[in-house]
Every structure is written in structure tokens, then in C-alpha cells.
Amino acid sequence: MSSPKAIVQIAIAGARILGKAFYAAGKQAAANAKYRPQGAAGDAAGVGNATTGSATDKLTREHRMTSDEARLILNVKKEDSVERVLQSYEHLFKQNSPPPPPEKPVSRSSKTMPPAHSHYLQSKVVRARERLDAELKASLAEENPPPPPPEAPSSNPPPPSS
């Protein structure tokens, strides 16, 4: 067998192998794009599963966050008081706030790092507090339902009795 013929055959065999590999990878990529596992609808954790008409599920869909996720963000337990939740919120909000502007220009020679702040984390802290506040309001509304509205006098007078 001549050497140019062998080189051409090796190149053709390599191209076939590479072509089959690309075809299989493309087929697998298409299958992966179509597959959506249960509960992974691209939403926040638990939001896709909140499909019932309960008040808790309504709050989860409305605030795009579960109450457990809100408690994790604020680092509080379910049985913690409202004051503890507020204290944790204020601390985390302040820690993630941008520093106030300096009163006088800072010289470039000092190598102190400014404190880190994150608008994203701060917004998550705010949303977590809003979610827990909404849950508290809903539970208070369940405990103390509003009184039924008084019956309005009817516009038609009663028929005369004989």
C-alpha cells in the first residue's frame, strides 16, 4: 500500500469518527434542551410547585420565594420572634449597603480595602423580609377575620300587610 493512499484512508476514517461524535453530541444536546425535571421550572425553589389555591402558595407565587428560603436568607428560625427577624433584617441590610461617601478625600497611599457591599444580596434580604411580613399578615388575618358587613336596608319597602 502506498503511503499517500494510507494517509488519505486515515484522514477519512478520522473524519467519520469525528462526524459521528459531533452527530451524537448534537442529538444529546437537543434531548437535554427538551428535558425538564419535576420541580425545575426555572423558578425559585418551590415556586413552580405552588399550584394550589392556598394562601401560602399564593404568597409563594406572589413573592417568588418560599417562607423557608426567606428564613434561610435572614438566618432566623420558624419560632423566632418578629423582633428577631427585624433585627436580623436590619443587620444584613446594613452589612450589604454601600458605604457612605467619605467626608474628605482619601489619599491613594493608604491601602485599606473599602467594605464590600452587594445590591443583589441587599435586594434578597428585602424580599425575604417582605415575604415573612406577608406571611405574618396572612396568619393574623386568619386568626382575626374581619366582621361581616352589616346588611344594607333593602331599597324595596316591605309589602303592606292586610
For 34, what's the count of Cα atoms within 13 Å in the CB-facing half-sphere?
5
For residues 6-29, give the mean pLDDT. 95
For residues 47 and 61, the answer to whether their CB atoms sit within 8 Å is: yes
User: Average of pLDDT values for 141-149?
Assistant: 72
pLDDT value at 109 more than 80: no
- So what's the pLDDT on residue 14? 95
pTM of the model: 0.53
C-alpha closest to that of 69 among 96, 49, 99, 83: 49
> What per-residue confidence (pLDDT) applies to 119?
84
Chain segment 50-101, per-residue pLDDT in tens: 566 667 777 777 777 888 888 999 989 988 888 998 999 999 988 888 877 7
CB proximity list for 31: less than 8 A, separation 6 or greater: none
Give the integer Cα–Cα distance in Å for 10 and 4: 10
Q: What is the pLDDT of residue 146?
A: 65
Confidence tier at 42 by pLDDT (50, 70, 90): very low
Tell me the range of 19-23, 84-88, 157-161 where mean pLDDT is highest.
19-23
Would you identify the CATH topology of the domain 55-98+117-143?
Helix Hairpins (1.10.287)
Average pLDDT value over all residues in the chain: 79
- Cβ contacts of residue 40 below 8 Å, gap of 6+? 48
- Report the pLDDT value the prediction gives residue 107, as an integer from 0 to 100: 63
The residue-averaged pLDDT of 25-54 equals: 69
pLDDT band at 46 (very low <50, low <70, confident <90, very high): low
